[in-house]
C-alpha cells in the first residue's frame, strides 16, 4: 500500500466485533502478561506459558512502604485502566483532553495498578493543576526525557472514534493525548505508528496477508512520522519542547521506529520459528535501556500481530510470556491489533474471565457512537482526593465522576510488610461497572490495630515454593444468583473480584454459580484444589486403592472430579 492508493479511500465503518476485539483484546493481553512483567514483582512463583489467568501477589512500596497486593485472576493493569480513562473522556467531553488531564488522570493516581513512572509523575502534576511541561525545572527535564510506552498503550479509543476519517484526525488526537504525560519523541512516535497500524487494520475488510500490516506501516511512513500542529489545544507546548532538542530527537525517533519495523519485516521474511525471539531481541524488547520505549512497543506489537494474523492468540501469548520484556504492554498492544484485524472470535471463552468483561464490552459499543454530554465538571485536585478517602472511611459523601462505580466497600486486598505501616483497601464496583481497588498506606495509630490488620490477610511465603497443592476455593449453587450475591457482597461485605455470565467470585475463595435445576440450591458444594502435578496426584489415588479419576482437558487446563469421605464433590485442577 502506498500513499494515494486505498489508504485514502473511505471504508465501511468497522463492525461491532472489531470494536469489541480491540478493547477486549487489549484487556486480555494485559491480564495475561501483567503477572510476568519484571516490574510487577510477582511473589507467587506462578508458571509461565499457560493460557489461563492466575491470581498472584504483587510486591510494592520499596524500602519505605513495603506491602503486598492480592491480584485476582484476570485482573488488568494500568494499560487497560488508561484505555478506559481515555475512552470515558471521549464519551464525556468534546474537549476530551481537558477532562482526561483534569479529571480522569488525577483520579487514576488512587487506583492505578502498575503505572509507569512518567505517567504517574505527570498525573500527580495535573493533580496539582500544573501541566508537566510548566512545572519546576527538574520535573520539566524528566518530562521531556519521558519516551516510554505509556502513551502508546492507551490511544486505541482515539482510532476507534475517528477510524472513518483521514488518519491525520486520529494522529492529532494521539499527539494531543500523548503530550499530556510524555514529552520525548520516542513515546509520541511510538504512539503514532501504533495508532496508524490500528487505523489500517480496522479499515481493512479483507484477509490480511502474512506480513501485510508491517509492510503497510513502513510503506506509509509519511502518515505517522510528522508532528501535527496542536497549538490550538496546548498553545505553548511546542515552543517549550523546542528548548529541549525536540526537533532533532524527533528525527532520531522516526529513524529508530523505521529501523525497528524493518527488523521485524526481515524477521517475517526469514520465516523460521527460531528467529522470533531473536527478532524481538533485535527490536529492543529485552534491552533494559530501551525495552520500555514507545517505539519498541509499537514495533514489537506490529511485528507479532503481522506474524500471527492467522492465529492471533499465539501472538498475544508470545508477548505475554516473553521473559524480560514489558509483557503486559506488549501483549495488550498486540491484542488490540489482533482485534482490529480479526474481530472477536479469536478471543474464545478465555476473554469472559477478564476483569470487567461486561463493562468493557459495553464501553466498546459506546465508542461506535460517541455523543459527548459536555456537562460542566470540577477538576480532581488534592482536596478532592482527601475527601474521597474520608468518604471511603465512612465520613461524608463525595461526588463521583460519570462512568465510575458508585458503590464502595472495604476489602482485604493489601497486606503491610512493616510493623510501622498500615495498609487498607477498598473496592468500588457494581453490576456492569468497572472495578476499582483503592489502597491507602499510612502509619498505624496503635501497634495493636496494626497487628489486627496484619492478621486479616495472611500469606505464608516460606511455604509457597514447597506446596504441591493449595486450597483454591468453594463453589456454591444458588437458586437466585443475584440474591445470593447481594447477601455476600452487600450484607457480609465480601468484594466481588470476578464476574462472568455464569459465576460470581467473591473474595479469594468463594464462587457462586446459578443452579440450572439439576442441582438443588443449597446443596452441590464443590471444593476446588489446585495442584502442581495432576498426574502425580492421580497416581496417589491408585496407591491409596481408590477409584482412579479420569483427567479431562479444556484448553491448557487439566482437571478431574472426585469425592471426599463425606461425599462432597472435589474438583482438582492444574494450570
Annotated binding site: 77-79, 326, 328-329
The CA distance from 499 to 489, in Å, is 12
Rounded to 5°, the CA angle 196-372-378 comes to 110
The CA distance from 53 to 56, in Å, is 10
The residues pairing with 409 across neighbouring beta strands, listed in sequence order, are: 427
> DSSP characters for 129-192?
T--GGGS-HHHHHHHHT--BTTTGGG-HHHHHHTTTS-HHHHHHHHHHHHTTT--SHHHHHHHH
Cell numbers placing 87: 475512552
Task: Give the chain's end-to-end CA distance (angstroms, integer).
Answer: 43
Please, are residues 573 and 534 in contact by the beta-carbon 8 Å criterion? Answer: yes
Cell numbers placing 377: 465538571
The CA distance from 93 to 375, in Å, is 7
| Exposed / middle / buried, residue 218 (Cβ in 10 Å: 0-12, 13-18, 19+) | middle
The CA distance from 466 to 572, in Å, is 18
Rounded to 5°, the CA angle 371-375-379 comes to 120
> DSSP characters for 487-551?
IIIIIS-PPEEEE-SSEEEETTTEEEEE--SSS-TT---EEEEEES-HHHHHHHHHHTT-PPPPP
The CA distance from 286 to 276, in Å, is 13
The CA distance from 88 to 99, in Å, is 9
Selection from 372, 360, 434, 364 nearest residue 404 by Cα: 434
> Residue positions in the annotated binding site for Mg(2+)?
77-79, 326, 328-329
Selection from 266, 424, 355 nearest residue 72 by Cα: 355
The CA distance from 75 to 510, in Å, is 17
Q: Is residue 271 helix, strand or coil?
A: coil
The pairs formed by 498-505 with CB atoms below 8 angstroms and a separation of 24 or more are: 498/72, 498/73, 498/74, 498/353, 498/355, 499/356, 499/357, 499/358, 500/352, 500/353, 500/357, 501/352, 503/475, 505/72, 505/473
**Phi–psi pair at 151, nearest 5 degrees:** -85, -50
Taken as a whole, the chain contains a residue count of: 575
Q: Is residue 406 helix, strand or coil?
A: coil
The CA distance from 79 to 96, in Å, is 19
Please, are residues 417 and 68 in contact by the beta-carbon 8 Å criterion? Answer: yes
**Are β-strands 569-574 and 526-531 bridged in parallel, bridged antiparallel, or unpaired?**
parallel
Amino acid at each position: 500500500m502506498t500513499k494515494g492508493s486505498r489508504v485514502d479511500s473511505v471504508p465501511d465503518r468497522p463492525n461491532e466485533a472489531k470494536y469489541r476485539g480491540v478493547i477486549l483484546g487489549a484487556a486480555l493481553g494485559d491480564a495475561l502478561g501483567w503477572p510476568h512483567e519484571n516490574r510487577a514483582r510477582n511473589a507467587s512463583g506462578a508458571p509461565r506459558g499457560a493460557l489461563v489467568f492466575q491470581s498472584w501477589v504483587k510486591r510494592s512500596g520499596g524500602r519505605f512502604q513495603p506491602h503486598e497486593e492480592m491480584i485476582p485472576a484476570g485482573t488488568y493493569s494500568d494499560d487497560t485502566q488508561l484505555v478506559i480513562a481515555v475512552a470515558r473522556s471521549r464519551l464525556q467531553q468534546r474537549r476530551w483532553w481537558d477532562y482526561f488531564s483534569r479529571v480522569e488522570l488525577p483520579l487514576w493516581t488512587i487506583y492505578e495498578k502498575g503505572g509507569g513512572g512518567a505517567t504517574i509523575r505527570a498525573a500527580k502534576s495535573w493533580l496539582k493543576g500544573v501541566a508537566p511541561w510548566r512545572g519546576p525545572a527538574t520535573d520539566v527535564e524528566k518530562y521531556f526525557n519521558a519516551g516510554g510506552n505509556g502513551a502508546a498503550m492507551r490511544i486505541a479509543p482515539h482510532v476507534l472514534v475517528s477510524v472513518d476519517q483521514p488518519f491525520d484526525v486520529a494522529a492529532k488526537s494521539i499527539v494531543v493525548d500523548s503530550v499530556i504525560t510524555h514529552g520525548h519523541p520516542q513515546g509520541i512516535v511510538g504512539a503514532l505508528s501504533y495508532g496508524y497500524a490500528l487505523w489500517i487494520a480496522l479499515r481493512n475488510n479483507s484477509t490480511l496477508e502474512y506480513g501485510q500490516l508491517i509492510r503497510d506501516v513502513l510503506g506509509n511512513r509519511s502518515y505517522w512520522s510528522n508532528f501535527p500542529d496542536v497549538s490550538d489545544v496546548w498553545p505553548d507546548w511546542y515552543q517549550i519542547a523546542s528548548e529541549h532538542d525536540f526537533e532533532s530527537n524527533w528525527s532520531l525517533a522516526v529513524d529508530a521506529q523505521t529501523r525497528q519495523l524493518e527488523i521485524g519485516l526481515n524477521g517475517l521474511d526469514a520465516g523460521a520459528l527460531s528467529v522470533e525471539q531473536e527478532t524481538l531481541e533485535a527490536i529492543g524488547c529485552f534491552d533494559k535501556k530501551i525495552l520500555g520505549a514507545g517505539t519498541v512497543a509499537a514495533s514489537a506489537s506490529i511485528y507479532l500481530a503481522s506474524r500471527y494474523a492467522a492465529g492471533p492468540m499465539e501472538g498475544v501469548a508470545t508477548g505475554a510470556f516473553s521473559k524480560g520484556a514489558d509483557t503486559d504492554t506488549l501483549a495488550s498492544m498486540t491484542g488490540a491489533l489482533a482485534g482490529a484485524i480479526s474481530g472477536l472470535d479469536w478471543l474464545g471463552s478465555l476473554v469472559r474471565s477478564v476483569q470487567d468483561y461486561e463493562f468493557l464490552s459495553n464501553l466498546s459499543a459506546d465508542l461506535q457512537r460517541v455523543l459527548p454530554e459536555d456537562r460542566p465538571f470540577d477538576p480532581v485536585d488534592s482536596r478532592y482526593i482527601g475527601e474521597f478517602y474520608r468518604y471511603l472511611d465512612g465520613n461524608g459523601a463525595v461526588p463521583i465522576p460519570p462512568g465510575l462505580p458508585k458503590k464502595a466497600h472495604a476489602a482485604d486486598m493489601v497486606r503491610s510488610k512493616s510493623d510501622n505501616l498500615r495498609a487498607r483497601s477498598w473496592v468500588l464496583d457494581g453490576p456492569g461497572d468497572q472495578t476499582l481497588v483503592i489502597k491507602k498506606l499510612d502509619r498505624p495509630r496503635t501497634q495493636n490495630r496494626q497487628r489486627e490488620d496484619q492478621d486479616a490477610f495472611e500469606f505464608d511465603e516460606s511455604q509457597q515454593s514447597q506446596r504441591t497443592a493449595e486450597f483454591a476455593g468453594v463453589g456454591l449453587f444458588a437458586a437466585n444468583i443475584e440474591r445470593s450475591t447481594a447477601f455476600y457482597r452487600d450484607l457480609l461485605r465480601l468484594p466481588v473480584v470476578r464476574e462472568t455470565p455464569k459465576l460470581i467470585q467473591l473474595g479469594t475463595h468463594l464462587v457462586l454459580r446459578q443452579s440450572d435445576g439439576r442441582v438443588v440450591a443449597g446443596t452441590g458444594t464443590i471444593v476446588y484444589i489446585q495442584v502442581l502435578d495432576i498426574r502425580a496426584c492421580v497416581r496417589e489415588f491408585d496407591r491409596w486403592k481408590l477409584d482412579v479419576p479420569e483427567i479431562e482437558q479444556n484448553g491448557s487446563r487439566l482437571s478431574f472430579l472426585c469425592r471426599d469421605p463425606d461425599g462432597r464433590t472435589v474438583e482438582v485442577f492444574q494450570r
